[in-house]
Structure 1
């Protein structure tokens, strides 16, 4: 045991003080549940034991000490407590098909969405659009665009405006069985050949390479 470790143990006033240092900032089992704990704190639940009992059924497998340390950090903070943005893990749960999520992932995602109406609405729109895309239900796109505009979600409003500028083409792409993928493949191949020979060959040689490749 090094002298630094001995000093750290000697100076610790509480067990949670030992969580600082080289381990600070690293991912922990509590990270996924911090948005939920932030919301509960803002609602007036400042009892770490109560909060720990609430997140255990949601799938938390860490110790009570981590929850206690997180709440102690909030008490010592002079600034206002605000909910943290969703973690990349929660974003992954939203983007995946609901049927591919485990029961624990469903519960954890529900714990995040129940305290964030905007994120809950976003999840509904994302999954609805995913269904339209996967099941080729282009006729539902106008209703989806109307539903998006009714919610205060600026990011989706930008997406909706972009789709609206070429609505007929998007609906056709989400409905008709034909695909321009083959054409796009030939275009990309031609661009690649042109880049390879840029400045070193004229049109005649480029034509000889492109036509056999087609």
Structure 2
């Protein structure tokens, strides 16, 4: 049950990552209301591999759609999932490109861009690339000098991308929520608090998840129905789905949260047998017996 609950919490966090990102960007703008001109967003998206792949995939899918190909046929032709084909069919290209841009992995320079931008502004663009390279190298930078020079050139040309907000992943937020509070470090508690303050839905999911975990660990099954009613009333959609799943087998779940007995041993042995069967699949022959 905790695994299903964790999946619902992670899905909730994933659905609200854009909200967290926007809130972080708003706070950044509030702290620096007059950013220098060189930090403005570029006029067009950078020609990175993931953006170009997204653009070409969009063109291929819509070209086949114009030929009246079905979703399944396009998926087979392009070796894609049908859900992916539908998303490219129903979503505007600009939105897909923006999403692809957000999925780009952080480069080796990304953690140091904020410092470089601040130093560049402080020196009015007069700081040398070698000097700034040595400064961030002392702060832990392990990349090449050429990467730093390229970023400084983009700053001078006014085409540098804004520093992306440091948003924890949905899985990391979920781990902070599902773990007992006493096992979290001070920095983890602080970051989780920031996430909770930024998004009411994640806050609600966090409160419900912790209440359910506490109910499970202390065998308080008599509180289950009340928990389900609260979740169905105002919880995010994934948490409502988890509550509905529990309601379908309410008596069994209540017993599992109340009684000291568990089918975990049986389930473990079943899983072990299935693992052995998978490992032996296709190998049972006379040659193996020799």
Range of TM-score over shorter length: 0.5 to 0.7
CA RMSD of aligned residues (A): 4.1
Out of 110-119 and 190-199, give the one that drifted further. Answer: 190-199
For 1:38, which of 20, 25, 34 is the aligned residue? 25
Structure 1 SS opposite 2:212: helix
- Cα displacement string for residues 93-135 of structure 1 (whole angstroms, at most 9, x for unaligned residues): 1221111112222112111211211111111111111111111
Give the equivalent residue in structure 2 for 1:130: 213
Out of 133-142 and 175-184, give the one that drifted further. Answer: 175-184
The structure whose RCO (Cα within 8 Å, separation 6+) is larger is: 2
Residues 76, 123 of structure 1: alpha-carbon distance in 2 compared, 3 angstrom cutoff? farther
Give the equivalent residue in structure 2 for 1:47: 32
User: Distance between the aligned counterparts of 1:46 and 1:62, measured in 2?
Assistant: 18
- The CA deviation at 1:46 is 4.9
Give the equivalent residue in structure 1 for 2:243: 160
Q: Contact conserved, 2:221 with 2:258, CA < 8 A, in 1?
A: yes
Q: How does 1:68-87 map to 2 (within 5 A)?
A: 86-87=168-169
User: Distance between the aligned counterparts of 2:199 and 2:117, measured in 1?
Assistant: 21
Q: Contact conserved, 2:216 with 2:257, CA < 8 A, in 1?
A: yes
Pairing 1:140–2:223 present:
yes
- The CA deviation at 1:185 is 4.0
User: Distance between the aligned counterparts of 1:114 and 1:39, measured in 2?
Assistant: 14
Give the equivalent residue in structure 2 for 1:170: 253
Out of 151-160 and 165-174, give the one that drifted further. Answer: 151-160
Give the equivalent residue in structure 1 for 2:103: none
Aligned residue pairs, count: 149
Give the equivalent residue in structure 2 for 1:151: 234
- The CA deviation at 1:152 is 4.3
Q: How does 1:1-214 map to 2 (within 5 A)?
A: 37-41=24-28, 45-47=30-32, 65=115, 86-87=168-169, 88-191=171-274, 196=280
TM-score, normalized by length of structure 2? 0.42
Q: Contact conserved, 1:48 with 1:67, CA < 8 A, in 2?
A: no
User: Distance between the aligned counterparts of 2:216 and 2:247, measured in 1?
Assistant: 16
- Cα displacement string for residues 34-84 of structure 1 (whole angstroms, at most 9, x for unaligned residues): 66532425xx615179xxxxxxxxxxx989626859xxx9x989xxxxx99
Structure 1 SS opposite 2:205: helix
Which consecutive unaligned segments of at least 5 residues does structure 2 have?
1-19, 35-110, 120-154, 286-290
TM-score, normalized by length of structure 1? 0.54
Structure 1 or 2: more helix by fraction: 2
Which consecutive unaligned segments of at least 5 residues does structure 1 have?
1-32, 50-60, 78-82, 202-214
User: Distance between the aligned counterparts of 2:25 and 2:239, measured in 1?
Assistant: 26
- The CA deviation at 1:200 is 5.6
